[in-house]
Chains A and B, each alone.
Chain A
């Protein structure tokens, strides 16, 4: 092979590799980005139906109920305007508490409840997950509900 051809081959291989990587990234991003919604938005049917999304808010006081198996937990996530029923099976994080901030990830099901696979409460006692704080802020001042994640 002549040097020029060799260089061309290197460049082609390089571009192909980068192209492949970009494809991988875009494809993976498309499937694995979960948008975040507030209970009011879910109530207004703005959340997607067959797709995972995230919800933020407070665990409504007095709403936590356990099923007999001890692991299936029902509770409401609220932005103090609307509340959304949530079902979760598994062990809740240390900082999960009624009246405290929470972020959960899951899907709306036909039973009208959000079935979540992940409950996050990664914050300290006086601090709120930013998503939960944001939900409360938006619910309190509806006119500020400007750009909604689409």
Chain B
């Protein structure tokens, strides 16, 4: 009964979305405030009904209702409660429902926090989001309903993929989806601006905080996914250029370009058309990412042959969204205008160059990810594009980008002379270069490695990171000079300025992490008998053997590995090899001792000899690896700081005075 109610709620939500997608937009075109006025109530109503549908599915999972096909396929009565809940988004159908739920959350949020916006703007934005929801809910209802019954009911479920039974995977997909769906707001703002023919600094100011929040969610989401891959897959890697990862990385790259381009549009009125294009692009890639990951098309194009309805729907939806947006763009963009002028060397030109580089980077990831798919679909046979492709393309693109990232915040808007800029950065660049050359000389001893490697890539990586930090120091020094007490001078700068610098510092931290872990990691795959020791770096790992333990829904072989450094004990690591009862699937669970400067990482391979208890063991020393995620966190924090800027809040206060009037029709 409950699942049917969920299904029914979804149908109601679909109808609400249809009305939301038509009436308010029509009202905005005809300047009819009655039609525009229905937008907000409809947005709230849709949120209520999608939430009901989601709760129904959640109930089916928590109550172990295996008469629902989706639950039977993704859950099991022995699955711990929190994973039963997370199993809602463990597959294609439930992920779509989560997507739809978040879309209705964002729509309702826009309805609530848009009191200071002109009525027709709100009507158009909510209308466009309503149209998107129609596409999504229809896709669910016609091709992938999570409420389909399984009759007769299964005795027990097939269990959630063990890889997904992890706290990281409980929060990673929702975060990422909040980001994906959040870009729909930026997209809706862009489309409304095109519809209204008014694309100015105020538009950019409204659109900016939404875009930044979506970007923050996405940043954190990708970070969680990367961290999960690191400790859960047992290979010690943090990024595999896997199609699933790339699917989230492409919209992130364009989204990063978008938040910078929006900044220029707000401050200088320039890049207008470009900003709109980026908003369309970022959202289209978000859609593509959602479909790519969950639909199974990545593992095989032929998975669509089994269910062509899905593939055709997805393709038409994408073509419709992208095609209609671009048509609208082509029609309206001339009206929007190009905006302010700027010189060859100016903050605008640096930001534009970085925008181009980010877009090109995104396109290169796109090509590498989809190339095998196209070749296969065209009948040229199967092939794969490996990580070396992505590294070979990505690194050369990022070097000039990071260089300009350091120059950008120091350059003036509109016009700047080369000697002037050079004079401001020369000392910063020189000290970054000297540090980058000196540090690798002592890095080996600092990390207690056997060898003291000195590689050009390490110097280059460190140079990039120190260059960003040097630029930050120069900028802060300039901004903090002048009259008043130190605190007063610090407070004079806007939160969005500090946000930007925090995010840039995050990038520097991230680069340091990537550079040092790539340059100095130690990896050992060894056979270990009970009592064996192995040296890795300056660390000694002693294998004490394996014991059998039982978890809630699995049994595990737990390895006991003692770690010593210079005879001093650093504790015990307990890597596991799990065997899940319901699915029979094995799983490696690495044991990690994290540290600021290095992680000790041990995972179990396979038992080699039953008689003497020898195992294949993987022993890694990962220097500075946690800096990768610390950098991402700092980027996210920078985004939050930027959104908390006063100029967004001032509007809200000013609006409070007028709020009673505008809230009447709710």
Proximity string of chain A (119-150) to chain B, C-beta cutoff 8 Å, 1 when within and 0 when not: 00000110001110010000000000011111
Is the Cβ of B383 less than 8 Å from the Cβ of A33?
yes
| CB-contact partner of B381 in A1, A25, A90, A147, under 8 A | A147
Given contacts A21-B363, A24-B392, A36-B383, could you give 4 more A-B pairs where the C-beta distance is less than 8 Å?
A35-B381, A124-B583, A124-B585, A147-B381
* Across-interface contacts of A70 in B (CB, < 8 A): 527, 608-609, 614, 616
**Does A48 interact with chain B (Cβ within 8 Å)?**
no
Q: Judging by beta carbons under 8 Å apart, are B382 and A134 in contact?
A: yes
Set of chain A residues within 8 Å of B616, measured between Cβ atoms: 70-71, 91
Does B379 touch A at the CB level, under 8 Å?
yes
- Whether A91 and B525, one on each chain, are in contact in the complex, defined by CB atoms closer than 8 angstroms, is yes
Closest A-B pairs by Cβ, 8 of them: A149-B381, A70-B527, A91-B605, A32-B389, A130-B300, A28-B392, A36-B382, A70-B608
**Least Cβ–Cβ distance between B207 and chain A, in angstroms:** 25
A interface footprint on B383-397 (CB within 8 Å = 1, 0 otherwise): 111101110110011
Does A18 have its Cβ within 8 Å of any Cβ on chain B? yes
Q: Which residues of chain B are near A14, meaning CB under 8 Å?
A: 356
Q: Which of B573-611 contact A (CB under 8 A)?
A: 583-588, 605-606, 608-609
A124 to B164, CA, bound (A): 12
* 18 intermolecular pairs with C-beta atoms under 8 Å apart: A21-B363, A24-B393, A25-B367, A27-B392, A28-B392, A29-B385, A29-B389, A66-B608, A69-B527, A70-B609, A70-B614, A71-B527, A91-B605, A92-B605, A124-B583, A147-B379, A149-B380, A149-B382
Rounded to whole Å, the gap between the CB of B578 and the closest CB of chain A is 9
For A31, list chain B residues within 8 Å (CB).
388-389, 392
Say yes or no: A91 contacts B389, CB within 8 Å: no
Which of A1, A27, A33, A150 meets B385, CB within 8 Å? A33
Cα-based distance from A9 to B344 in the complex (angstroms): 9
Known: A35-B383, A147-B381. A25 touches B364 (CB 8 A): yes
Tell me whether A54 is interfacial, beta carbon within 8 Å.
yes
How many Å from the CB of A97 to the closest CB on chain B? 9
User: Which B residues touch A28, using CB under 8 A?
Assistant: 388-390, 392-393
Size bracket, chain A contacts? 35 or more
Q: Is B388 within 8 A of A32, CB to CB?
A: yes
Q: Which residues of A contact B299 (CB under 8 A)?
A: 129-130
Residues of B within 8 A of A9 (CB): 344
Chain B interface SS verdict (over half): mixed
Contact with A along B292-309 (1 / 0, CB 8 A): 000000011010000000
Q: A25-B393, A71-B525, A147-B380 are in contact. Are A32 and B585 (CB under 8 A)?
A: no
A143 vs B194: C-alpha distance when bound (angstroms): 55
Inter-chain contact B586/A21, CB cutoff 8 Å: no
Chain A nearest Cβ from B301, distance in angstroms: 9
Question: Is the Cβ of B360 less than 8 Å from the Cβ of A21?
Answer: yes
Interface string of B340-372 (1 = CB under 8 A from A): 000110000000010011001001100110010
- Judge if A111 is at the interface, Cβ distance under 8 Å: no
Q: B320 contacts the other chain (Cβ, under 8 Å)?
A: no
Task: Tell me how far the C-beta of A65 lies from the nearest C-beta in chain B, rounded to whole angstroms.
Answer: 12
Residues of B within 8 A of A130 (CB): 299-300, 302, 382
Which residues from A are CB-within-8-Å of B343? 6
Is B618 close to A, CB under 8 A? Answer: yes
Minimum distance in angstroms from A40 CB to a CB of chain B:
14
Question: A34: CB under 8 A from chain B?
Answer: yes
B161 part of interface (Cβ distance < 8 Å) = yes
The 8 A CB mask of A89-101 against B (1 = contact, 0 = none) is 1111011000000
A11 within 8 A of B: no
Contacting residue for A24 out of B364, B381, B614, CB 8 A: B364
Query: Are the C-beta atoms of A94 and B525 separated by less than 8 Å?
Result: no
The answer to whether A91 touches B385 (Cβ under 8 A) is no
| Nearest chain B CB to A25 CB, angstrom units | 5
Closest residue to B341 on the A side, CB-wise?
A3
Interface check B526, CB cutoff 8 A: yes
Contact with B along A9-22 (1 / 0, CB 8 A): 11000100110010
Contacts of B379 in A (CB 8 A): 146-147
User: Shortest CB–CB separation between residue B356 and chain A, in angstroms?
Assistant: 6
**B379, B392, B618: which has the most chain A beta carbons within 10 Å?**
B392
Complex Cα spacing A91 to B586, Å: 14
Chain A contacts with B in 23-62, Cβ cutoff 8 A: 24-25, 27-29, 31-36, 54
Tell me, rounded to whole Å, the shortest Cβ–Cβ distance linking B476 to chain A: 31
Residues in chain A near residue B618, CB distance under 8 A: 91
Most buried by A among B344, B382, B388: B382
A73 smallest CB distance to B (angstroms): 10
How long is the Cα–Cα vector from A18 to B363 in the complex, in angstroms?
A: 11
Kindly provide the distance from the CB of B335 to the nearest chain A CB, expressed in whole angstroms. 21
Q: Mark B150-168, 1 if CB is under 8 A from A, else 0.
A: 0000000000010000000
Residues of the A chain whose Cβ atoms lie less than 8 Å from the Cβ of B526: 71
Which residues in A have their C-beta under 8 angstroms from that of B608? 66, 70
Cβ B383 vs Cβ A131 within 8 A? no
Which residues of B sit under 8 angstroms from A18, Cβ to Cβ?
360
Residue among B300, B368, B371, B384 with the highest chain A CB neighbour number at 10 A: B384
User: Which residues of chain B come closer than 8 Å to A25, judged between CB atoms?
Assistant: 364, 367-368, 393
